[in-house]
Structure 1
Amino acid sequence: MIETARLAGFFAAHGVWCVSEGETLVPLLGYEHADGEYGMNRMMFDDYAEGARAGQDALEDGDPSWVGAVLVADGYIHLDQGKTDALIVEAVQYGPYRQTMQLAVPYRPAQDERGFAVHKPKFMNADCDDPAFDAVAEAFFVGAASHTEAHAVWDAHLDESV
């Protein structure tokens, strides 16, 4: 799951970069081939929700050439302070023992009077007490940092108060 967590971090960072200017993120499906090469498809549909559903279907079905894939879609999560914009990240590691991870990267839209901010990722359906969790979380952040342009935006707008 470590490689897939890196993949999820890379494409989550790409999503942060995309929404930093105030645009709604077109759902994106990123994937890794066995040779380590990344690829990406934008799920461009007339209806945003239809694009997200098509991305979920593609993520579920997979492709024989993929070792892992991640769907990043613009949405909302509910936090203590209420409904919050977030990039919803779903990742799958394919193979004989399929593993999944879900997380959200909350953000404050650029249109907000306080300006754009990105907040700490919220790992969902994860056992934070599991010894493997720390390694997976670290791999996610390593993956995010590997997208240098996007990571610079993330780092410059990081607000850890949320």
Structure 2
Amino acid sequence: MQETYKMAGRLAAHAVSSVSTGELLVPIYGYLTTDGQTRMVRVVADNAQEAMEEGQSMYAGNRWNAAGGFWAVDGFVTLPDVGKVDALLLNICTYEEPKHELRMALPYRHAQSSDGFAVFRPKLLGLENLETGDVQPLMDAFFAGRDEHTEGAAIWNAHFKKELTRMSGFSGFSSEEWAQLRDAPLAVFFMVAGADGKVDEKEIKAFGDLFKESGKYPSVLMQRIMSELTPHAPQGQALLMDFLERYTSGNFYAPLYFLGVNQLLAKNTEGSLAADLKADLLAFGKAVASSSGGGFLGFGSKISKEEKAALSVIEALLSAGQQN
């Protein structure tokens, strides 16, 4: 079991090195061979959901008859008094029956946050066939393995902080500003999907399908926003339902909201960042309108006149903040 956790430590160090530059971690499945070798598979697929399903299948099914397994994805964890923060979500198991598993989160501060990259103490999320007294020896082995990955360990140690005490913004935005900007695709979705006067349960369910192709949006800001909003994770579902409550309660006024977005972008972005995000938001709105081949739920062959009107309003509101 100790060797499995050393293997996990080596691969976790690799994962930390990968996200230290601001890149989203490509999901990693790692395993310890029966002769003690560490192997790693980057799980790449056409979309994030397929990559998750494939990697989880590798981890659960022990495809290579390994002694131990490791599964790492980029996600979020909720911390008391702080809220949702970036985290590497790590699963470590031994495959010999009975299967032993430890699940933990490694919180980190994104490289493009206002305070720069940082790594924080792991948070235990769950145990299977393990007792709490087993954890410390396993974590000692985990960190011993981490230190064997020279580059990753150096980055980890250089940027280590004991506790995350407050939220940090992203790419020049404060945490409050980022929360406001992050609502933009939700605002676009509800304006287009609700162009006929209502947003029904089927449309909310279909919202998730739009994220299967989230990688097609080139804007750095849009990619980050989509990663936080993905409805395939609990935090994304919570953000969606929170915005839905505000939208349906009458506490959302589109002109005022987009005026604020334009002001935030003008204040905090340089070069093409703002224009790229606005182009992606408009493309997202068109994807909502034409989802499934015409009509939001796949009926008809054209975008409805109500949807066209909503898209025109969104384009005008976004253009209002462009600088000449």
Whether contact under 8 Å (2:92, 2:102) holds in the other structure is yes
The equivalent residue for 2:31 is 31
The equivalent residue for 1:158 is 160
Give the partner amino acid of 2:146.
A
Q: If the length of structure 1 is used for normalisation, what is the TM-score?
A: 0.93
Aligned match for 2:135, one of 133, 136, 154: 133
Whether contact under 8 Å (1:126, 1:133) holds in the other structure is no
Unaligned runs of 5+ in 2: 165-324
The equivalent residue for 1:86 is 87
Q: How does 1:1-162 map to 2 (within 5 A)?
A: 1-80=1-80, 81-126=82-127, 130-162=132-164
SS at match of 1:69: strand
Residue 32 of structure 1: CA displacement?
1.0
> Residue deviations 1:43-96, cap 9 Å, x none?
111222321221111100003531011011000000010001000001121113
SS at match of 1:66: coil
Whether contact under 8 Å (1:26, 1:48) holds in the other structure is no
SS at match of 1:125: strand
User: Aligned pair in 2 of structure 1 residues 29, 64: CA closer, same or farther (>3 Å)?
Assistant: closer
User: Aligned pair in 2 of structure 1 residues 64, 19: CA closer, same or farther (>3 Å)?
Assistant: closer
- The 2-side partners of 1:125 and 1:39 are apart by 24
What is the alpha-carbon root mean square deviation over aligned residues?
A: 1.7
Give the partner amino acid of 1:49.
Q
Q: If the length of structure 2 is used for normalisation, what is the TM-score?
A: 0.48
Q: Which has the higher helix share?
A: 2
User: Aligned pair in 2 of structure 1 residues 5, 97: CA closer, same or farther (>3 Å)?
Assistant: same
**What percentage of residue pairs aligned between the two structures are identical?**
36
- The 2-side partners of 1:54 and 1:63 are apart by 11
- The 1-side partners of 2:127 and 2:95 are apart by 18
Q: Which has the higher strand share?
A: 1
Whether contact under 8 Å (1:103, 1:122) holds in the other structure is yes
- The 2-side partners of 1:87 and 1:107 are apart by 8
SS at match of 1:139: helix
SS at match of 1:70: strand
Unaligned runs of 5+ in 1: none
Moved more, 126-135 or 16-25: 126-135
Residue 105 of structure 1: CA displacement?
0.5
